[in-house]
């Protein structure tokens, strides 16, 4: 039996603008993960893959699923990359603790976990980069125009400075940064938020391009702050990025409420993270304020609060 896992992720700065070629910063979140297990199937035809996802209520042979089904798509893409030849039927079970449609990269993590597990089971040699590419193919199903940042940070499992079409730059981190991740409890598919920004961009590209440029400048500043371990500077960048995401109209009442609550309780900076319109927000906190900001987030309606560290 083979088992492989992949972490969730948060985007620190640059979501949405990254779809339009601007840089972005993202880090893995190992407190949540998706895992895939491959073992011999008790019955079935040679070359058969029985896909099981208790979370989705799915138990189906791969050949009975449409190739556009995300679990089928990553399985087919990985098998095509591995070309294992005839094999005894296998059972592939997928589980995840990453909330779906919440900005934490659940789709990418499931894809990466499946690709890793199949790669190990068949003795393949797919590296991070190839596994990231395979997951990227499936991201197109989740939302039409992915930048590739989600699959990249999840597959490489380390902080990245990312720009579409370029090799990801692993980030050196200059000091510990403590984050809280507050969940609005509102599921919001990334596809919808990306579509909303696309419509606004089509209607008024000059205004949107200018906003993307301002976000890009914040990302570059935040990269310096991360390198220097400068929490105040990173906090200010997060705050400004949230204001620009509000201008793009991808925040929500729930996200704004949690961001305000974190600010009022003494966070160094807070913003929505990921596609937005629901899902999660992040707050950069000092260790002294971590508990009080976490309490404030819950009082303001967060259905869950995770803690995560970005460390050298």
How many angstroms separate the CA atoms of 236 and 257, rounded? 18
Instruction: Determine if 11 is a binding residue for ligand MEV (CB under 6 A).
Output: yes
Instruction: Determine if 168 is a binding residue for ligand MEV (CB under 6 A).
Output: no
Q: Which is nearer to ligand MEV, 148 or 235 (CB)?
A: 148
Please state the closest distance from residue 98 (CB atom) to ligand MEV, in A. Answer: 12
Part of the chain binding ligand MEV (CB under 6 A), chosen from 110-118, 146-154, 177-185, 254-262:
146-154
- Residues 237 and 13 sit within 8 Å (Cβ to Cβ): yes
| Nearest-CB residue for ligand MEV | 147
Q: Which is nearer to ligand MEV, 193 or 244 (CB)?
A: 193
How many angstroms separate the CA atoms of 8 and 293, rounded? 22
Q: Which x/- pattern over 105-144 shows residues binding ligand MEV (rule: CB under 6 A)?
A: ----------------------------------------
- Residues 124 and 6 sit within 8 Å (Cβ to Cβ): no
Among 149, 262, 272, 277, binds ligand MEV (CB under 6 A): 149
Part of the chain binding ligand MEV (CB under 6 A), chosen from 72-80, 112-120, 145-153, 166-174:
145-153
Instruction: Determine if 252 is a binding residue for ligand MEV (CB under 6 A).
Output: no
How many angstroms separate the CA atoms of 15 and 272, rounded? 10
Instruction: Determine if 18 is a binding residue for ligand MEV (CB under 6 A).
Output: yes
Please state the closest distance from residue 30 (CB atom) to ligand MEV, in A. Answer: 17
Active site residues: 150
Report which of 9, 310, 306, 29 is spatially closest to residue 180, judged by C-alpha positions: 306
Please state the closest distance from residue 148 (CB atom) to ligand MEV, in A. Answer: 7
Size of the site for ligand MEV (CB under 6 A): 15
Part of the chain binding ligand MEV (CB under 6 A), chosen from 14-22, 152-160, 219-227, 295-303:
14-22
Please state the closest distance from residue 286 (CB atom) to ligand MEV, in A. Answer: 26
Cα 274–chain centre separation: 7
Q: Which is nearer to ligand MEV, 124 or 146 (CB)?
A: 146
Long-range contacts of 162-168 (CB under 8 A, 24+ apart): 162/14, 162/18, 162/23, 162/24, 162/25, 162/26, 163/18, 163/21, 163/22, 163/23, 163/24, 164/18, 164/19, 164/21, 165/21
Among 28, 99, 124, 146, binds ligand MEV (CB under 6 A): 146
Enter the DSSP assignment of 17: G
Among 93, 147, 230, 280, binds ligand MEV (CB under 6 A): 147
Site for ligand MEV in 177-196 (CB under 6 A): 190, 193-194
Instruction: Determine if 263 is a binding residue for ligand MEV (CB under 6 A).
Output: no
Burial 24-56 (b: 16+ CB within 10 A, else e): bbbbbbeebbbbbbbeebeebeeebbbbbbeeb
Report which of 30, 35, 37 is spatially closest to residue 7, judged by C-alpha positions: 30
How many angstroms separate the CA atoms of 216 and 245, rounded? 12
Enter the DSSP assignment of 101: T
| Residues near ligand MEV, by CB under 6 A | 11, 15-16, 18-19, 103, 146-147, 149-150, 190, 193-194, 274-275
């Amino acid at each position: 039996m083979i088992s492989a896992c992949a972490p969730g992720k948060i985007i620190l700065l640059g979501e949405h603008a990254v779809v339009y070629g601007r840089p972005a910063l993202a880090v893995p979140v190992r407190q949540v993960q998706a895992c895939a297990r491959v073992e011999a199937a008790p019955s079935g035809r040679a070359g058969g893959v029985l896909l099981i996802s208790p979370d989705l209520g799915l138990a189906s042979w791969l050949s009975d699923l449409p190739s556009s089904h995300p679990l089928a798509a990553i399985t087919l893409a990985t098998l095509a990359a591995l070309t294992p030849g005839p094999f005894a039927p296998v059972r592939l079970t997928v589980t995840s603790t990453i909330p779906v449609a919440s900005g934490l990269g659940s789709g990418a993590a499931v894809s990466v976990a499946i690709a890793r597990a199949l790669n190990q089971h068949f003795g393949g040699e797919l590296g991070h980069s190839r596994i990231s590419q395979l997951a990227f193919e499936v991201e197109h199903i989740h939302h039409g125009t992915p930048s590739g940042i989600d699959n990249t940070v999840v597959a490489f499992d380390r902080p990245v400075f990312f720009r579409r079409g370029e090799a990801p730059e692993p980030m050196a981190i200059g000091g510990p940064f403590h984050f809280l991740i507050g969940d609005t409890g509102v599921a919001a598919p990334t596809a919808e938020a990306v579509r909303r920004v696309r419509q606004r961009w089509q209607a008024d590209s000059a205004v949107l391009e200018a906003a993307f440029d301002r976000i890009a400048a914040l990302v570059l500043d935040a990269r310096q702050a991360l390198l220097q371990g400068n929490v105040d500077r990173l906090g200010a960048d997060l705050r400004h990025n949230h204001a620009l995401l509000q201008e793009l109209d991808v925040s929500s009442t729930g996200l704004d409420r949690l961001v305000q609550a974190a600010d009022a309780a003494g966070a160094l900076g807070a913003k929505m993270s990921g596609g937005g319109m629901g899902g999660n927000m992040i707050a950069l906190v000092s260790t002294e304020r971590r508990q009080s900001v976490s309490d404030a987030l819950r009082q303001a309606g967060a259905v869950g609060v995770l803690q995560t560290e970005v460390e050298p």
